[in-house]
Amino acid sequence: MARKVERIVWHTAAHGRNGVAFDTTAAQIDQWHRERGWSEIGYNVVIRFNGAIEKGRDPDKIPAGVAGINETTYHICFSGHGDIAPLTPQQMESGIQHTIEMLERYGLKERFLAEPDALIVMGHREVNELVRRGLAPTPTSKTCPGRLVDMDLVRQQIRERLQNTSPPYVYERVAAGQLLAGLRQVYTVAQQLQLSDDLLAELNAFRKQPEIDAIIQRYRQESGG
Ligand SMILES: [Zn+2]
């Protein structure tokens, strides 16, 4: 059974030298973490400079990313060194897409949108804010995912992406007219059958679904009222 994940955490491999960031592989990080005595790589995925996603620890297992909150977190590590160079555009795009997929997989999308300050998507360093709020036990001295990674900007981009998704229907004029006619007919029949108020309320709730409402509004506008 899938774990209950509450936060998606961004990390940097912190891998670079003399001002040059390296395109770290998941295999390298796996080796480092085994050298520490861990069973395997602690992160769930690693995102390379070209945006490719390499698998790390099975997300159904408890990862090793942030001390004290591993049981309820999912960990994305970016190749390179976030104190030396920002994420590549491909890493940013791939990271945002993967984060959105995980928000959906773990049922976190609504909370992410409703509570902008809840750190549902966070950088490793922001665990210090969770500690301040009493939501995590162990602070960190790390800058992870790096001084050059602005987590507020990351969250803003994810929010815009989620809010700008195209509607989950194709507008087709004849079909929209049939939908409106069909709904009218259902209301007429509902009255004849003297359906209960509860059933009528459910019918109204369907009629007021944002997608259905948008289709009907558009049809009425284009038909001149
Ligand atoms: Zn980290």
Distance, first Cα to last Cα, the chain: 52
Q: Tell me, which fold does domain 7-163 have in CATH?
A: Lysozyme-like (3.40.80)
> How far is the centre of ligand 1, averaged over its atoms, from the C-alpha of 109 (Å)?
23
State the Cα–Cα distance between residues 222 and 225, nearest whole angstrom.
Answer: 7
Q: How far is the CA of 164 from the centre of ligand 1 (A)?
A: 30
In angstroms, what is the span from residue 28 Cα to ligand 1's centroid? 16
Confidence at residue 205, expressed as pLDDT on a 0 to 100 scale: 87
Residue 211's pLDDT is 85
User: 104 CA to middle of ligand 1, Å?
Assistant: 23
Distance 98 CA to ligand 1 centre (A): 17
Domain positions in the chain are: 7-163, 173-222
Determine the distance separating the centroid of ligand 1 and the alpha carbon of 11, expressed in angstroms. 4
* Structure confidence at residue 166 (pLDDT): 67
Confidence of residue 221 (pLDDT cuts 50, 70, 90): confident
C-alpha of residue 47 to centroid of ligand 1, in Å:
14
4 neighbors 117 (Cβ within 8 angstroms): no
- Return left, alpha or beta for 24; rule: phi > 0 is left, psi -120 to 50 is alpha, else beta: beta
Q: Strand (E) positions, 68-167?
A: 73-78, 121-123
Given a cut of 90, whether residue 26 has pLDDT beyond it is: yes
Q: Tell me, in angstroms, the distance from the centre of ligand 1 to residue 66's CA.
A: 7
pLDDT for position 126 = 98
Report how far apart, in Å, the C-alpha atoms of 34 and of each of 39, 63, 175, 209 are. 6, 13, 59, 51
Q: Measure 111 CA to ligand 1 centroid, in angstroms.
A: 23
Contact present, 203 and 186 (Cβ < 8 Å): yes
* Cα(96) to centroid(ligand 1), Å: 17
Of residues 217 and 84, more confidently modeled: 84
Q: Which residue has the higher pLDDT, 86 or 207?
A: 86
Q: How far is the CA of 77 from the centre of ligand 1 (A)?
A: 7
Higher local confidence (pLDDT), 167 or 191: 191
Residue 150: what residue type?
D
137 CA distance to ligand 1 middle (Å)? 16
134 vs 221, which has greater pLDDT? Answer: 134
What is the secondary structure of 201-220 as a DSSP string? HHHHHHHTSHHHHHHHHHHH
Q: Which of 1-10, 15-24, 39-48, 101-110 has the lowest mean pLDDT?
A: 1-10
Q: How far is the CA of 145 from the centre of ligand 1 (A)?
A: 6
pLDDT of residue 204: 87
Cα-to-centroid distance, 189 and ligand 1 (Å): 61
Burial of residue 89, with CB atoms counted within 10 A of its CB: 0-12 exposed, 13-18 middle, 19 or more buried: exposed
Mean pLDDT over 149-159 rounds to 96
